[in-house]
Amino acid sequence: MLKLLKKIVTTGIVTEKCKAPKDAELETLGIEIKRRIDKKFSGSIAIRQVDAGSCNGCELEIHAINNPFYDIERFGIHFVASPRHADVLLVTGPVSRHMQTALLRTYEATPNPKWVVAVGDCAVCGGEFGQSYACCGAVSNVIPVDMTISGCPPTPLALMKGLLGLLDR
């Protein structure tokens, strides 16, 4: 237990914070996101992530925005386990046809008002896979998309910037 506590204390807080920003861009971005969320969503926005055929690359980077460096939750953005709890659907992948109905049902299960963000090149335009017997291509071919975040996969910073763009609408 002592080893554990020692490691916690010596690690300190790595979250890139306001007073001594290691990454100024991230910090300004975060503050801006927080301001808009406070104004429009009373300080909290709930995201449900849906993988609709991604290669798992986007999921790795979406995970990363929850790591102690980005810690997106401090700005009021958190991930939820059910679409019924969500304000925003974060959809990745070139919508494999085998996931089409599941995506539609997830969309229907999300209460209004809701926003859909297509994350990654596949979700934005079909990416490396495009449209085929197995894929529907862009997410907008299946459900209405409010916002896109490109990249293969988008970096955590690009994801945060993208979410900021959503709040701007």
Name the nearest CA neighbour of 45 among 108, 88, 91, 92. Answer: 88
Residues of span 8-47 touching other proteins by CB under 8 A: 8, 11, 14
Least Cβ distance, residue 29 to other proteins (angstroms): 17
Q: How far apart are CA 116 and CA 71, in angstroms?
A: 22
We find the least distance from the C-beta atom of residue 102 to other proteins, in angstroms, to be 5
CA atoms within 13 A on the CB side of 51: 11
* CA proximity to 48, closest of 122, 168, 127, 143: 143
Nearer to other proteins, 51 or 87 (CB): 51
In the set 28, 31, 155, 168, which binds other proteins (CB under 8 A)?
Answer: 155
Q: Does 81 bind other proteins (CB under 8 A)?
A: yes
Sheet with 77-79: strands ordered across: 77-79, 45-51, 88-92, 115-119, 147-149
Interface ranges with other proteins (CB under 8 A):
1, 3-4, 6-8, 11, 14, 49-64, 66-69, 79, 81-83, 93-94, 96-102, 104, 106, 127-135, 152-153, 155
